Amino acid sequence: MTHGGALTVQPGPDKLRALLVLLPLLGCGHTEPFSPAAQGGEQPFDLGPPARLTLNQGPDRGAAWLPDGSAIVYSTQQLGRRDNDVCLALLPPGGGSQRQLTCDLTPTGSDSTDAIESPAPSPDGGLAFIAVSSRINAVPSGSTSLSISSLRDPTTLTRIQALPYTIPGGPLHSGASQLRWLSPDILVYLGERVDYQHPCDTCSEWDTLVTGVDVVSLDLRQSGSMPQRIPGTDNASGVSVGASSDEVYYTLNGDSRVYRRTLSTGLVTVVHDFGLAGLARDVHVVGNRLAAVVGGRVTYGINPAFGPTQWDSGGILHVVDLQSGADVTLDGPGLFRRPQISPSGSALVVEVYPLMISGEPAGTVVSRQGDLYLYGLQ
């Protein structure tokens, strides 16, 4: 992997070479909640490939495609705001000016930090996400819940599951991400453990350590339903739905394999093993295409204070053809997290975190501020 703007394909000797074609992409701006973005110059931030979708001083993350592929929704932190909100933004499918920006979730929004994370749009216009409201600069965060609303008006929401919670007989879930609609009434997501620590004895800032715990399903047909652990997914690091509501794909902490579980029978199969390429996580499957982040700056071990922990600053982006087993790595200007394949399978949006020179003697560190990039797939 290189860190320039060029897109290269790096298959191993036994892997099929694939042609990756850049889609025409344009940049975005930031606007007030619910207002259409001002129509500026329709020019990309970086022609690439890959093409750069966002250019923001704060992080852009958690991208998801609308089910019909007509737009991309994602979370963006507005560092220019006094409250440091993480807002919900909507982009055209090929990039361009934002169509919508939603920030404050509470009537006193300017006096609190509100966040809309891990958005999951549904085919009927609904939206599931993690909603957070807290005092400005509070650590840990305040009120956190898995919530549902509409994409048209995310602030009119119903909080369906408060965080943290403990499933009877199971571990504590203090966080959640990678929300997916398994069916119109059932959500699946990655239950997580969120820990906080000072990176050094004299540091005033906090580091946030997020480790996957297991894959969870939540049935919305009955009010008050409790989250249910999906058997066999203990220690999960990623989850994706498949072609039907009877299957999920997942990865495990410290593991190079991607698994598929048939929910009705409990049958588990390994659909791909990245082997020496490293630990697999952040899996996403559409049709016969599988995307995952593999290797890179990731370690799994025992944290003396918190127990089993996976430290992850990003890795290499792989796209696998599940029929042939062909595995292609995509080049980009940094390390990758959370790829999302478009509903048609023709494009992929992903978070990219640049590598920077730091310290004496000089070394490389991974930026905490990621932006979104788009690849075309053929």
pLDDT by residue, tens only, the chain of 378 residues: 333 333 233 333 333 333 333 333 333 333 333 333 333 334 456 667 898 999 988 899 999 999 999 999 999 997 888 888 999 999 999 888 888 999 988 766 677 889 999 999 999 999 999 999 888 777 667 789 999 999 999 999 999 999 999 988 889 999 999 999 999 999 999 999 999 887 777 776 778 899 999 999 999 998 889 999 999 999 999 999 999 999 999 999 999 999 999 999 999 999 999 999 999 999 999 999 999 999 999 999 999 999 999 999 999 999 999 999 999 999 999 999 999 999 999 999 999 999 987 765 667 888 888 999 999 997
Query: What is the per-residue pLDDT for 222?
Result: 85
Query: What is the per-residue pLDDT for 360?
Result: 59
Query: What is the per-residue pLDDT for 211?
Result: 97
The span from the CA of 181 to the CA of 239, in Å, is: 11
Residues 6+ apart with CB under 8 A from 278: 256, 294, 295, 296, 298, 315, 316
Short-list 318, 269, 272, CA closest to 295: 318
CB atoms inside a 10 Å sphere around CB 171: 15
Half-sphere exposure of 345 (CA within 13 A, CB side): 13
Residues 6+ apart with CB under 8 A from 73: 63, 64, 65, 66, 88, 89, 90, 91, 119, 121, 127, 151
Query: What is the per-residue pLDDT for 261?
Result: 98
**Beta strands, E only, 220-361:** 228-229, 236-241, 247-252, 257-262, 268-273, 280-286, 289-294, 298-303, 307-312, 316-321, 327-330, 335-341, 347-353, 355-358
Query: What is the per-residue pLDDT for 196?
Result: 87
The span from the CA of 228 to the CA of 210, in Å, is: 20
Q: Give the amino acid at 323.
A: Q
In the chain, count H helices and then E strands.
0, 30
Question: ω before 154 within 30° of 0 (cis)?
Answer: no
The span from the CA of 333 to the CA of 54, in Å, is: 13
Q: DSSP letter for 9, please.
A: B
Predicted TM-score (pTM) of the model is 0.86
Domains of the chain are: 51-376 (2.120.10.30)
Residue 110: phi, psi to the nearest 5? -70, -15
Residue 41: phi, psi to the nearest 5? -65, 130
